[in-house]
Chains A and B, each alone.
Chain A
Amino acid sequence: MSNKITLIELDHSRCEGHGLCEEAAAHLMHLNDEGELIIDVKEVGSKDIDAAREAVRVCPVAALKLVSS
């Protein structure tokens, strides 16, 4: 049985706080009061993969990635 883990990776230097990711996947990440992105769920399960992919896709600055190991 393969144990593939998918992680959400954030490039902090690119992030500008646009918040489109939070709109796409509010249960996985959010912007705090300082406008910084906090990834609440780093390891993405099968029920969250679509939302995670959408968040990655809509980030205007391409600061998010899904990394599989």
Chain B
Amino acid sequence: MSTCPPATSNIDIFSDDVLMNTEATFKELREMAAVVYLPNNNTWAITRYEDIRNALSDTTTFSSKSVAFNPQMNQVLAGTSLAADPPEHGKLRAILSDNLSPRALRKMKAPIYEKADELVGELVRRGNFDGMADMAVAFPVSVVLDLIGVRGELREKILPWGEAAFNLLGPMNERAQDSMPVAQELFHWTHEVMRGEDLAEGSIGRNIWEAAERGDISHDSFGYIVHQILAAGMDTTITTIGNALVLLGLNPEQFEELRNDPKQAPAVLTEVLRLRTPAPVFGRLATQDVEVDGTVIPKDSQVALLYGSGNLDPRKFENPEKFDISRNAVDHLGFGYGTHTCAGQGLAKLEIHGLLEAWAKHVKSYRVGEVVQRLNNFTRPYSSIEITDVIPD
């Protein structure tokens, strides 16, 4: 077997520039090669759809022990399903999915849709609002916090905590260092301060606490799970709602299609996740030398799986840069794939489908004004999205 010397690039995929220009950077890397070594990140990036999907299917070669891009965070994550490999992974994942899977949440559909409808109705009455603060943030926060059973002033802390946690999944650059104290607060709260009694009776949080009290899981696990749900469960959903508002606003003829058939909401979400992957890069550790499309990634290397690049790969998606809700490419990489596929996707879908259906039912047309982005090592958050001229149906 002959292999080529690796393609390399001096790009730092966690720099401000790249975070602001993710798609263009990914395109460059993807066109360069299937595997590109990034010396500035000391990381091997896998850029194309099929190779990423194959890597995700091979948890033996591509271990989640370095899912984050700095050793401190990987250490912190060591008790979670996110950073575990099979066979340990199974039990940790089961605790999450017992409470968060579509199966577990099937009775939540009606109340979540109702809540969405109420919120959208209220925003449409206003006519102008901030798509982020008033919808994309307000809704998931309220749903997740109710689910976990968090009450009172803690609710305000949740968002900055989540964003800090995401920054720390990247390298320990300045952005991550600045996030340390905030992230530590969340960790401290979920592992040391929070008690089951603090959480509302009947909530998922309370249920998991009771499982710990019964000895089904350790109290440590309880902390980790709540931490995971709070840290991972919001920013990505929030960003995606923002992206949906922007993309439908920019493509009114497709919004019209959704209005004519609100049951297309899932197809809309699928395409939003593909085109604007909210968490576009995840880490892995190569546990042995592995050849990917002619390049050998050496044992013990940090690998970056560029989900966001795979989702725009013309080898898989025709006309990949086009927002097209009829595509319904359910095998996009926005939720990952396989063993570690997003455990919260069932909940995210309930929330976002609910909002999209309500938006389609209540709104005839709207405009997107100023859009302000923010920088985060791992996600692509918005600070604000001006929604104006909402004409009710």
Task: Please give the residue numbers on chain A whose beta carbons come within 8 Å of chain B beta carbons, in ascending order.
Answer: 13, 16-20, 23-24, 34-36, 57-58, 60-62
Contact across chains for A19 and B339 when beta carbons are under 8 A apart: no
Q: Is the interface of B mostly helix, strand, loop or mixed?
A: loop
Contact across chains for B341 and A35 when beta carbons are under 8 A apart: no
Contact residues in B for A60 (Cβ distance below 8 Å): 335, 337-338, 341-342, 345
Of A18, A20, A58, which is in contact with the most chain B CB atoms at under 10 Å from its CB?
Answer: A18
Contact across chains for B101 and A16 when beta carbons are under 8 A apart: yes
Specify which of B331, B338, B339, B346 is in contact with A18 (CB 8 Å cutoff): B346
Contact residues in B for A61 (Cβ distance below 8 Å): 338-339, 341
Whether B322 sits at the interface, judged by CB under 8 Å, is no
Residue in chain B with minimal CB distance to A57 = B331
> How many of chain B's residues have a CB under 8 angstroms from any CB in A?
20
Contact residues in A for B90 (Cβ distance below 8 Å): 13
Task: Please give the residue numbers on chain B whose beta carbons come within 8 Å of chain A beta carbons, in ascending order.
Answer: 57, 90, 94, 97, 101-104, 106, 330-331, 335, 337-339, 341-343, 345-346
Q: Can you list 24 contacts pairing A with B, beta carbon distance less than 8 Å?
A: A13-B94, A16-B101, A16-B103, A16-B343, A16-B346, A17-B101, A17-B102, A17-B104, A17-B346, A18-B101, A18-B345, A18-B346, A19-B102, A35-B101, A35-B104, A35-B106, A36-B103, A58-B331, A60-B335, A60-B337, A61-B338, A61-B339, A62-B337, A62-B338
Contact residues in A for B331 (Cβ distance below 8 Å): 57-58
Contact residues in A for B343 (Cβ distance below 8 Å): 16
Q: How far is the CB of B317 from chain A (nearest CB, A)?
A: 15
Q: How far is the CB of A23 from chain B (nearest CB, A)?
A: 7
